[in-house]
């Protein structure tokens, strides 16, 4: 598990840094887009609003075109994206001309170009969010889907780790029926770290999430997405799964296997595909469409019928 978690800790590409800049999802009529005397002024305003997380200012700066991009559904990932954008800008930035009336802001030591250009018009200079918006969404979706697959595989490793620990302690193994343990217990895959005691199977992943700005697992009052995806344990499998239909829980202990479902918090914004995985460690994907949230909520068992496509996972 450790190797997988370490790979997951690698930072997303610079393209992810500006996701929040175009995901405000508000009506353009609420706030007229601002124009600026120069491209430098426009860029400075964007960075200032990003640095202070001033959402109203970002809406005004980006204007029409940003309304087509709904909120990503993951506020913690969005806030982290703003921080990375500002850090990249502080490291290095430049405005590159693409003609007399078009400028592109490049940020970071690798001169990453912001897909949304600054264009000149009668009122001055402003960002053209109609251009480049879908590119940013596509990058976010790809990044989040890869993260969801990695988390799913980390879950498999964590369950096997938990089973082995239970077997060593009690002589008989069982899988965890919870992701986060009940307070004061070790009945889930994660529990708060205590000096002198072995960390929980998911401690590395939770520690990484905290570094990214997510709340501690035991502090969450309700389920929040991680990297744009929700995750839920499944307690049985259907007839189309290997070995056929069966319940994983027998005599109040989950010994017959385990499974997980992962689905996007906001379909077509934070992700497209829904993923399932069981104890075999094979991830399947399916596009549930615009009704993803409702359909995913009704999936109660792992059932890899032909409508689910098996995906090949490479070491990334």
What's the pLDDT tens digit per position in 236-295?
Answer: 999 999 999 999 999 999 999 999 999 999 999 899 999 999 999 999 999 999 999 999
pLDDT confidence of residue 29: 42
pLDDT confidence of residue 30: 45
Q: How large a percentage of the chain has pLDDT more than 70?
A: 85
Distance CA 222, CA 14 (A): 30
Round the average pLDDT of the chain to a whole number and report it.
87
Residue ranges per structural domain of the chain = 2-131, 145-310
Element (H, E) at 8: helix 2-8
What's the Cα-to-Cα distance from 134 to each of 19, 167, 269, rounded to whole Å? Answer: 10, 49, 10
What's the Cα-to-Cα distance from 1 to each of 161, 202, 216, 250, rounded to whole Å? Answer: 8, 9, 20, 26
pLDDT (mean) for 147-152: 98
Helix (H, G, I), strand (E, B) or coil at 234: strand
Q: Which of 72-81, 152-161, 168-177, 212-221 has the lowest mean pLDDT?
A: 212-221
pLDDT confidence of residue 316: 46
């Amino acid at each position: 598990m450790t190797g997988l978690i370490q790979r997951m800790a690698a930072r997303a590409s610079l393209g992810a840094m500006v996701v929040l800049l175009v995901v405000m999802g508000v009506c353009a009529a609420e706030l007229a887009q601002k124009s600026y005397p120069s491209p430098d002024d426009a860029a400075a305003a964007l960075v200032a609003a990003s640095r202070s997380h001033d959402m109203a200012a970002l809406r005004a700066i980006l204007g029409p075109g940003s309304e087509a991009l709904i909120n990503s559904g993951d506020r913690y990932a969005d806030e982290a994206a703003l921080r990375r954008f500002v850090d990249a800008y502080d490291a290095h930035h430049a405005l590159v001309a693409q003609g007399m009336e078009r400028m592109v802001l490049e940020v970071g030591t690798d001169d990453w170009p912001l897909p949304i250009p600054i264009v000149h018009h009668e009122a001055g200079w402003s960002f053209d969010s109609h251009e480049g918006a879908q590119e940013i969404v596509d990058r976010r979706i790809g990044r989040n889907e890869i993260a969801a697959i990695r988390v799913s595989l980390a879950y498999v490793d964590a369950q096997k780790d938990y089973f082995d620990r239970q077997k060593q302690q009690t002589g008989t193994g069982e899988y965890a029926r919870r992701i986060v343990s009940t307070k004061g217990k070790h009945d889930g895959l994660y529990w708060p770290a205590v000096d002198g005691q072995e960390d929980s199977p998911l401690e590395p992943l939770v520690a990484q999430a905290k570094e990214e700005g997510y709340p501690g697992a035991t502090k969450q009052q309700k389920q929040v997405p991680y990297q744009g995806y929700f995750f839920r344990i499944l307690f049985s499998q259907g007839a189309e799964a290997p070995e056929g239909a069966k319940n994983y829980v027998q005599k109040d202990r989950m010994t017959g296997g385990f499974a997980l479902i992962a689905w996007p918090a906001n379909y077509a914004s934070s992700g497209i595909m829904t993923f399932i995985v069981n104890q075999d460690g094979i991830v399947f994907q399916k596009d549930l469409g615009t009704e993803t949230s409702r359909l995913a909520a009704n999936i109660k068992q792992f059932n890899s019928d032909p409508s689910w496509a098996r995906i090949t996972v490479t070491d990334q």
